[in-house]
Structure 1
Amino acid sequence: MVLFNYVLMCLIFGTTFLAIKVGVDAGAPPFFSAGLRFFLAGSILFLWMVRQRKARFSLLLRREMVLTAAGLTFGTFAILYWSEQYLSSGIAAILSATGPLITLLLQAAISRKRLSVTSIAGCITGMAGVILLLLPGLMIKVSRLWVFGCIAIMLSQFFYSAGAVYSKRVVQRFQNTSPIALNAAQMIYGGAMLFVLSLFTEHVHISSMLTLKALFSLIYLIVIGSMVAHTIFYWLVAKTNPVFPSTWLYISPLIALLLGAILNKEPLSFLSFIGGFTIIIGIVLVNKDYFRQMAGKKRIQIVSREKPSPPV
């Protein structure tokens, strides 16, 4: 059951970039559709958690939810949705996978700790992968918006990294609250922020949201992409450990790259594929020390469970 849910989660996360692309190309306003996605998904999940008595409405009054939402949802997805107007879903997915690299650099800067040789090698490998990924597009004449879109997604990962680092503190601060409820609360605020941005930057025509492709994209992202996938993620964390489910970051971007080429006829050069694979290798190298640390803790837990209790 664990393996099945893990594969399912990777496939879902790998399809969300293409679903965003389909909705945006169908004419759905990027900021409004992103806000609708996260506000509705967060509201449904949060009400369900309240009904299960695993969350209280007072959680929505905590400023930690607003600050987490500003990084994880608003800053990250406002830029991603905007950028996918000009980029293929596969390129957007691979560039978004640089988040762990930026998170490592941010954590090192905050804690003032020196990076290990492996981590430095991972960062260099990851950046080399980004160059390889973008090289085919830079070698031919491309629009400025394509270049700006690539740069924007890289910048969006600073929002993601800041939100990820801060959310770790929030989870520790709210240890008695389900992580699903915390995620739902921040999605509500993130969706609300996206609505405000849409109000000042977009002219929303309801007819553009009612096309078949736009509706399919929205419903899929709300139900499957946000509710089902995140629930599976936290289920896997509970059944295994925090590291194993997070490895979707190494698999889903490549799935997105292939799906975009097959289903949406997005251009995919051999050099771009190599670049994407190189980025994934860099991310693995960056997290190698963390994997060893978590694996060691897991072995200690297993040994302690198997060790017989002393006689009373």
Structure 2
Amino acid sequence: MIGVAFVVMCLIFGTTFLAIKVGIDAGLPPFLSGGVRFTTAGVIVLLLLRMTGKVKISLLLRKETMISGAGLTFGTFAALYWAEQHVSSGIGAVLSATGPLMIVLIQSLLLRQKVSRRSIIGCLAGFTGVVLVMIPGIVVDVSGLWVLGCVLVLAGEVCYTGGALYSKHVITKLAGTNPIALNAAQMLHGGLLLLVLSLFTESWQISNWSPIPAAASLLYLTVIGSMAGHSLFYWIMARTNPLFPSTWLYISPPIAVGLGVLLYGEEVSLISLAGVVLILGGMIFMNQSAWDWLRRKGKLFSGNKILGQKNKVID
């Protein structure tokens, strides 16, 4: 089940950069778009879980979910949504792919956790592959806002890294709580912060929106991107560690390129193909021990929990 969940999550997240761009191009204020997306997704998931008796509303009052939401949702997506007004989705994808590298750096340098050489080499190979995949389609229009957008995407990845590492701590601390409920709570908190930011910084004039693409973007990002994709992220992280599910950031650019080929008949350069090979090679090399461990335990395509294995799952 973990293998299937990871593949589905990568496919979902591989399309969200484009969906965000569609919404912004349709006139949706970026912070408002993100706020509506995450607040709605969090409320719906929590209500569904509440109806089945799998969550207590008091979860929303815990500081752990508030901090997770501020980092993993608010910090990450406030930066990304604003930046995509001024940088291409290709640049955004490349800069966002620094997330796994930042996790490795923070774990080793700040948290003093042992990180295997395999993880470091795999992360570097994956990031290099992302750059190669996106090079042919990257459009650089250097300006002050472009530079600021790039800096903000990187700042957002710092928030993402801190939020992911802290969320793993929360999942372990609140081991009796459904990880999907934890994700819904942090999405709700992060979404509300985005709405507050939007209220003070953006105009909500509906007349400037293109209704059909705007609605399609919001619906897709809310249901598929947040309710499904982010729930899968938390579910996988509860059974592995923060680095493994975060490697979706390496998979999304090849998926975006593949969509361009299928939907628009775009050509793929040899450089991009080399990048895809490098990404897949880095992913396999980095996670080989994890896949071997899961396969031996018979849990790769089963729903059994391996939460208690801590960092032995992925070295």
Cα displacement (A) at 1:143:
3.9
Q: Which moved more, 1:88-97 or 1:104-113?
A: 88-97
Q: Distance in 1 between matches of 2:83 and 2:151?
A: 9
In structure 2, the partner of 1:80 is 80
Once residues 70 and 2 of structure 1 are traced to their aligned partners in structure 2, the CA distance between those partners, rounded to angstroms, is 27
Tell me what 2:98 maps to.
98
Q: Which amino acid aligns with 1:212?
A: I
Aligned length: 300
Decide whether the 8 Å contact of 1:130 with 1:276 is kept in 2. Answer: yes
1:187 aligns with 2:187: yes
**Given that residues 123 and 286 in structure 2 are in contact (C-alpha distance below 8 angstroms), is that contact kept between their aligned partners in structure 1?**
yes
Aligned to 1:172: 172
Alpha-carbon distance, 1:209 to partner: 4.8
Write the distance in 1 (CA, Å) between the matches of 2:4 and 2:272: 29
State the secondary structure of the residue aligned to 2:76.
Answer: helix
Q: Quote the offset at 1:92 in angstroms.
A: 2.5
Q: CA deviation at 1:225?
A: 1.5
Could you say if the C-alpha distance between residues 278 and 176 of structure 1 is closer, same or farther in structure 2, counting changes exceeding 3 Å? Answer: same
In 2 relative to 1, CA 264–80 (structure 1 residues): closer, same or farther, beyond 3 Å? Answer: farther
Q: Write the deviation string for residues 99-118 of structure 1: whole angstroms up to 9, x where unpaired.
A: 12211111112332454333
Structure 2 Cα separation of the partners of residues 2 and 99 of structure 1: 21
* Structure 2: distance between partners of 1:34 and 1:73: 9
Partner of 1:203: 203
Give the Cα–Cα distance (whole angstroms) in 1 for the partners of residues 63 and 264 of structure 2: 40
1: CA distance, partners of 2:119 / 2:173: 28
Return the offset for 1:74.
0.6
Equivalent residues in 2 for 1:1-312 (5 A)? 7-113=7-113, 115-126=115-126, 128-129=128-129, 132=132, 142-209=142-209, 211-231=211-231, 248-259=248-259, 263=263, 271=271, 274-275=274-275, 278=278, 281-282=281-282, 285-288=285-288, 291=291
CA contact (8 A) 1:90 1:257 kept: no
Q: 1:245 to 1:115 in 2, by over 3 A?
A: closer
* CA spacing shift, 1:53–1:65, aligned 2, 3 Å: same
Task: Specify every segment of 5 or more residues in structure 2 that has no aligned partner in the other structure, as ranges.
Answer: 303-315
Contact 2:31 2:197 in 1 (8 A): yes
The code of the aligned residue for 1:170 comes to: V
Percentage of identical aligned residues: 52
8 Å CA contact 1:118–1:288 kept in 2: the answer is no
Q: Is the 8 A contact 2:127 2:250 kept in 1?
A: no
Shift of 1:133: 6.0
Structure 2: how far apart are the matches of 1:182 and 1:257? 33
Within 1, Cα distance between the matches of 2:102 and 2:18? 24
In 2 relative to 1, CA 211–200 (structure 1 residues): closer, same or farther, beyond 3 Å?
same
* TM-score normalized by the length of structure 1: 0.78
Distance in 1, Cα, partners of 2:154 & 2:176: 34
Q: In 2 relative to 1, CA 107–50 (structure 1 residues): closer, same or farther, beyond 3 Å?
A: same
Give the TM-score of the pair, scaled to structure 2. Answer: 0.78
3-state secondary structure, aligned to 1:186: helix
The SS at the match of 2:256 is: helix
**Inter-partner Cα distance in structure 1 for 2:88 and 2:258:** 11
Q: Is the 8 A contact 1:72 1:159 kept in 2?
A: yes
Say which is worse superposed, 288-297 or 120-129, in terms of deviation.
288-297
**CA deviation after TM superposition for structure 1 residue 232, in Å:** 5.2
Amino acid at match of 1:76: T
Residue pair 2:184, 2:231 contacting (<8 A) in 1 also:
no
**Computing the radius of gyration over CA atoms, which structure comes out larger, 1 or 2?**
1
* Structure 1 position 124, deviation (Å): 3.9
C-alpha distance in structure 1 between counterparts of 2:241 and 2:112, whole Å: 27
RMSD: 3.8
Deviation at 1:60, TM superposition (A): 0.7
Alignment partners' CA distance in 2, 1:3 and 1:118: 20
Shift in Å, 1:193: 0.8
Report the residue type matching 2:24 in the other structure: V
Instruction: Quote the offset at 1:206 in angstroms.
Output: 2.6
Q: 1:189 to 1:290 in 2, by over 3 A?
A: same
> Structure 1 residues 266 and 98 mapped into 2: Cα distance closer, same or farther (>3 Å)?
farther
Quick one: which amino acid aligns to residue 252 of structure 2? S
- CA deviations on 1:169-200 (whole Å, 9 max, x unpaired) are 10111111111110000000000111121122
- CA displacement 1:55-88 (0-9 Å, x = unmatched): 1111111011110011110111111111222333
